[in-house]
Structure 1
Amino acid sequence: MRVKICCISSTAEAHLAIRAGASALGLVSEMPSGPGVIKERHIADIAGAVPPPLGRFLLTSQTNANDIIAQQQRCGVNTLQLCDRVTVDALHTLRRSLPGISLVQVIHVVDDTSVAEAVGIAPEVDALLLDSGNQSLAVKELGGTGRVHDWSLSAQIVERSPVPVFLAGGLNADNVGEAIRAVNPFGVDICTGVRTDGKLNEYKLKRFMAAVRATSEKMS
């Protein structure tokens, strides 16, 4: 079970997450709302300090391919987490322009239409990430809400997706075991559930990682 620790704000937090066993780190660029936003120069510094095998995810709210390409080149990450809807044409442009850079499309799970959206876009990307935002609000929620969504819908997406699926949205040490059993994702993603006053909390992080490992061992 892969674990992505999101909203990393410093190299110290990055190294703490790595020591705990994270396989990917989330670095949040400008967003219309939500926690964890840091400046691109800090994202570049953190990404440069992380060992290459780990996923360095740039969370972007941009939808224009050229803007996303420029962001990736400024930040030096190996994975783009597309937090808003991106057209298939834009995804094709990203593929051509950024060979070797992984594309992860976020699906904000709201209702049955989210399942169709996920299944439709999955063949165009390397992975999906299921979150609990709301793109229909006047100020879009593109992640970091701390809310749990309907895991039965997420399970349908996992079952039908041809690519790996990460589960996010309101996870913590107390519910991640149930979430993994219900959804059977490729990996889990957490931000607020391992933080205190916005800072990565080592105790919460260790509890979360232990819960993930225990559940994974029981299911293997």
Structure 2
Amino acid sequence: MTRVKICGVARAEDAEAAAEAGADAVGFVFEPGSPRYVGRSTDLHLALPPYVVSVAVFGPFLPDAGATGFDRIQYLSGSPTGRLIRAFRLGETPLAEIVAHRSSPILIDAFHSEQFGGTGERADWEAVAQIVRSASVPVILAGGLTPDNVAEAIRIVRPYAVDVSSGVEASPGVKDHAQIRDFIAAARS
């Protein structure tokens, strides 16, 4: 079964809704330029049940950003240590370099020159499927996923997990709880 991460959660009620809907993981953004930024230190993840993985999400890695107590750290660049998820943006990093990454699970997102995620732009599913077939680590698909397209994306790509942010939002940083439920149901169909 494909796992589901609801990312860009900035409110306690959205974290609770994601957990209640069956999310496997919830992501909290520590990138100051993001409309989903949770601040230098947050305790939103403490409200999650123990079976839901909490993920601190960074653009350029900031080792002193106060992300303590999270189950995983997702980063775009740098060399942090710990339980990690390495994010790559298609078009920014050569496919061979992405496939060669062997030290942690990888998240593949669409490239946007001014934002590092939550853009609503769809990743190239065929390219990500090629990465899934070649990679030796779990691959998480992100980029432009919605309740309407996630089942097809999973069928084509066959990722370990899917990651959604803007695809389940009423507005940036505010999740639509019905869309979260619909997304998870579609991902598990």
Aligned to 1:20: 21
Query: CA offset at residue 114 of structure 1?
Result: 3.2
Considering fraction of residues, name the structure with more helix: 1
The letter for the 1-side match of 2:77 is: R
Cα distance in 2, alignment partners of residues 57 and 30 from structure 1: 13
Aligned to 1:204: 179
Aligned to 1:10: 11
Query: CA offset at residue 177 of structure 1?
Result: 1.2
- 1:111-132 per-position Cα deviation (integer Å, ceiling 9, x unaligned): 7x532121122x122x100111
Aligned to 1:62: 60
1:72-87 superposed matches below 5 A: 74-82=67-75, 84-86=76-78
SS at match of 1:130: strand
1:1-220 superposed matches below 5 A: 1-32=2-33, 34-42=34-42, 45-63=43-61, 67-68=62-63, 70-71=64-65, 74-82=67-75, 84-86=76-78, 90-91=79-80, 94=81, 101-110=82-91, 114-121=94-101, 123-125=102-104, 127-134=105-112, 137=113, 140-198=114-172, 199-214=174-189
> Cα RMSD (Å) of the superposition?
1.8
SS at match of 1:41: coil
Identity of aligned residues (%): 34
The letter for the 1-side match of 2:106 is: L
TM-score by length of 1: 0.78
- 1:142-200 per-position Cα deviation (integer Å, ceiling 9, x unaligned): 11110002111100111111111110000001111111111000010001111112321
Cα distance in 1, alignment partners of residues 22 and 35 from structure 2: 23
The letter for the 2-side match of 1:117 is: E
Query: Which runs of 5 or more structure 2 residues have no equivalent in the other structure?
Result: none
**Bigger relative contact order (CA 8 A; separation at least 6):** 2
Pair member with larger Rg: 1
State the aligned residue count. Answer: 187
- 1:88-114 per-position Cα deviation (integer Å, ceiling 9, x unaligned): xx35xx1xxxxxx42101110127x53
Residues 40 and 22 (structure 1 numbering): CA distance in 2 closer, same or farther, change over 3 Å?
same
Query: CA offset at residue 71 of structure 1?
Result: 2.9
Cα distance in 1, alignment partners of residues 154 and 20 from structure 2: 22
The letter for the 2-side match of 1:124 is: S
Query: Which runs of 5 or more structure 1 residues have no equivalent in the other structure?
Result: 95-100, 215-220
Cα distance in 1, alignment partners of residues 48 and 15 from structure 2: 7
Cα distance in 2, alignment partners of residues 11 and 207 from structure 1: 20
Q: Is contact 1:31-1:60 (8 Å) kept?
A: no
Query: CA offset at residue 208 of structure 1?
Result: 1.1
